[in-house]
Amino acid sequence: MSDLIHTPHSASYSSVFQFSIRNPRFNNTSASRRPIAIITPITVSQVQSAVLCSRRHGLQVRVRSGGHDFEGMSYISSAPSQPFLLIDLINLRNVTVDVPTKSAWVQAGAVLGELYHSIASASGTLAFPAGICPSVGVGGHISGGGYGMLLRKYGMAADNVLDARLVDAEGRILDRAGMGEDVFWAIRGGGGNTYGVVVSWKVKLVPVPRRVTGFKVSKTSEGSLTKVIQRYQHVVDKLPDDLMIMLTLSRIDSAAAQGQTIIQAEFLGLYLGETESLLTVMKQSFPELELTEEGCTEMSWIESALYCAGYPKNTSYDELLNSRNSSSLQFAKLKAKSDYVQRPLPVRALQGIWRSFDQVEAGPPLVQMVPHGGRMSRISNSSIPYPHRSGNIYKIQYFASWFGEDKKVEKRHLHWINGLYRFMTPYVSNNPRGAYPNSRDLDLGVNDPVGRTSYKQARVWGEQYFKHNFERLARVKAAIDPSNFFRNEQSVPPFVRMTTGRV
């Protein structure tokens, strides 16, 4: 058992703490914001004991699966007066695939690469619709929604969950029947570290053809980029469900740019079919992209997972088992923000994005468009907590990334992302302005550090993430965890009517 508990006095504490930090912005956080101990359970009963023991000793808990939280909420706290235990699920990552029932049980500490590897080892025609980056943890990812290249065909990862096992604040293990449909609804996207510790998910596997087609097309602002993006915005949510085209905008930082700002647009596509029919669709709907047969690569779904994640050609899919160590962004410091676009951005908005790219140095900023439409538009906006469905053309995400410890550099990058977010206000969804829960952004608002935030105060950020579903989430929270034991800076607080005037 002593191997599983790491205190600041243990030699293992720093390495265990830092191993799953995926935003090095928080590597050097002061000791007062770090856990007073880390437990790395190997059994579910040890998770139960950790929860009960923390409660008994007046400690908070934080739960970590893959450690990708953009604000580090799975392993640091902004309330030094609230000591906490970190339950790190790194040892709970078993995956059991059942091909006949097209389902899998996956323990929450597994990362997506491990899940994808297990599925592909069992079947060449099943997949799971989740994120692109294989090092993302299943625990946090599904707790906040989870999108990837199969989004338009099958919806979010959280739309494809059949059952779960949750350790609640009483230390009980609850499955779907035990927790009831309201809690089961809330944990599928209503935010992590709020209703309990999810120890495993039962996920629905989805059919994919033996061969799918991937493509990457690059355009720069030296060509007809604006025209291509304008067309993209008009068609991308209306394309067949089998086709997903994500777009990433960045700036070229190379000698070739010779001091000029050249904008690069990378179109990453995945089609659930063969090249020939893809080219027919593209010719009809999006000829401006000029996709050619040579630009397309047919492959299996699992090869497409490597392709979309940017692995070199011919990488074995066994490499996915090393996903925890191979995140390409692992060493960049990150800040993310998100919005939803409901009307195509006018040219002046695109030009404003281009101009903003001039404001920061290397570690170039990124803007990414994640198309919705397809199945996403046909799933009700109350089906799970994720509400941004019909009416959204795409989610737009802004990423600042930088290296090193220089605070001035950090300040410039944060200034860039805040300025761009302000600039985008008239062009994106409003009332409330939408935000993606998995692109956690503490600038939207934070809870009171000692857990006394009212539902009314939390609505400010809560409705940006969850819109009308926020109230139901707060009611579920009041039922499953009325003392607000599981909480962080942006967890949904319990909905309580109090005589003090709090709602």
Ligand X SMILES: Cc1cc2nc3c(=O)[nH]c(=O)nc-3n(C[C@H](O)[C@H](O)[C@H](O)COP(=O)(O)OP(=O)(O)OC[C@H]3O[C@@H](n4cnc5c(N)ncnc54)[C@H](O)[C@@H]3O)c2cc1C
Q: How far is the CB of 293 from ligand X (least distance, A)?
A: 28
Question: Residue 114, interface with ligand X (CB under 6 A)?
Answer: no
Q: How far is the CB of 499 from ligand X (least distance, A)?
A: 32
Among 140, 155, 493, 494, binds ligand X (CB under 6 A): 140
Following DSSP, what letter does each residue of 159-221 receive, concatenated?
GGEEEEEEE-TTS-EE-HHHHHHHHHHHHTTS-SSSS-EEEEEEEE-EE--S-EEEEEEEEET
**Torsion sign over Cα 25, 30, 33, 36:** positive
Whose Cβ is closer to ligand X: residue 22's or residue 389's?
Answer: 22
Measure CA 132 to chain center.
Answer: 9
Which among 137-145, 224-232, 299-307, 352-360 is the span making contact with ligand X, rule CB under 6 A? 137-145
Question: Residue 299, interface with ligand X (CB under 6 A)?
Answer: no
Q: Which residues in 15-54 contact ligand X (CB under 6 A)?
A: 22
Q: Is 27 left (phi over 0), alpha (psi -120 to 50) or beta?
A: alpha
Which among 120-128, 141-149, 262-270, 318-326 is the span making contact with ligand X, rule CB under 6 A? 141-149
- Paired sense of beta strands 206-207 and 126-127, if any: antiparallel
Rounded Cα distance between 348 and 355, Å, is 10
Question: Residue 389, interface with ligand X (CB under 6 A)?
Answer: no
Q: How far is the CB of 226 from ligand X (least distance, A)?
A: 27
Rounded Cα distance between 146 and 155, Å, is 9
How many of the other CB atoms lie within 10 Å of CB of 242?
A: 20
Question: Residue 67, interface with ligand X (CB under 6 A)?
Answer: yes
Q: How far is the CB of 24 from ligand X (least distance, A)?
A: 11
Q: How far is the CB of 93 from ligand X (least distance, A)?
A: 11
Question: Residue 371, interface with ligand X (CB under 6 A)?
Answer: no
Rounded Cα distance between 52 and 380, Å, is 37
Q: Which residues in 426-455 contact ligand X (CB under 6 A)?
A: 438
Phi and psi dihedrals of 457, rounded to 5? -65, -40
Give the side-chain half-sphere CA count within 13 A for 417.
24
Tell me whether residue 317 is exposed, middle or buried, using C-beta atoms within 10 angstroms of its C-beta: 0 to 12, 13 to 18, 19 or more.
middle
Whose Cβ is closer to ligand X: residue 106's or residue 208's?
Answer: 106
Among 113, 129, 134, 144, binds ligand X (CB under 6 A): 144
Give first-to-last CA distance, the chain, whole Å: 44
Question: Residue 65, interface with ligand X (CB under 6 A)?
Answer: yes
Q: Which residues in 217-276 contact ligand X (CB under 6 A)?
A: none
Q: Which residues in 322-361 contact ligand X (CB under 6 A)?
A: 327, 329
Which among 96-104, 120-128, 129-137, 383-391 is the span making contact with ligand X, rule CB under 6 A? 129-137
Is the link from the previous residue into 24 a cis peptide, with omega within 30 of 0? no
Measure CA 49 to chain center.
Answer: 29
* Placement of tokens 């909480």 in the chain: 487
Question: Residue 139, interface with ligand X (CB under 6 A)?
Answer: yes
- CB-based contact 448:466 (threshold 8 Å): no
Among 34, 62, 389, 472, binds ligand X (CB under 6 A): 62
Question: Residue 476, interface with ligand X (CB under 6 A)?
Answer: no
Which among 142-150, 225-233, 284-292, 420-428 is the span making contact with ligand X, rule CB under 6 A? 142-150
Q: How far is the CB of 289 from ligand X (least distance, A)?
A: 22
Question: Residue 151, interface with ligand X (CB under 6 A)?
Answer: no
Question: Residue 401, interface with ligand X (CB under 6 A)?
Answer: no
Which among 114-122, 131-139, 216-224, 290-298 is the span making contact with ligand X, rule CB under 6 A? 131-139
CA distances in angstroms from 237 to 272, 341, 342, 382, 412, listed in the order given: 16, 11, 10, 20, 34
- Paired sense of beta strands 5-6 and 37-39, if any: antiparallel
Whose Cβ is closer to ligand X: residue 22's or residue 34's?
Answer: 22
Question: Residue 141, interface with ligand X (CB under 6 A)?
Answer: yes
Q: How far is the CB of 439 from ligand X (least distance, A)?
A: 7
Rounded Cα distance between 106 and 93, Å, is 7
Rounded Cα distance between 210 and 120, Å, is 11
Q: How far is the CB of 259 from ligand X (least distance, A)?
A: 30
Among 54, 60, 74, 464, binds ligand X (CB under 6 A): 74
Tell me whether residue 431 is exposed, middle or buried, using C-beta atoms within 10 angstroms of its C-beta: 0 to 12, 13 to 18, 19 or more.
exposed
Binding mask 85-104 for ligand X (x = CB under 6 A): ----x---------------
CA distances in angstroms from 91 to 65, 108, 136, listed in the order given: 10, 10, 15
Among 63, 345, 360, 367, binds ligand X (CB under 6 A): 63
Whose Cβ is closer to ligand X: residue 234's or residue 331's?
Answer: 331
Q: How far is the CB of 313 from ligand X (least distance, A)?
A: 21
Q: How far is the CB of 332 from ligand X (least distance, A)?
A: 9
Whose Cβ is closer to ligand X: residue 229's or residue 308's?
Answer: 308
Rounded Cα distance between 308 and 297, Å, is 12
Instruction: Tell me which residues touch ligand X (CB under 6 A).
Output: 22, 62-70, 73-74, 89, 108, 131-133, 136-137, 139-141, 143-148, 192-193, 197-198, 327, 329, 438, 488
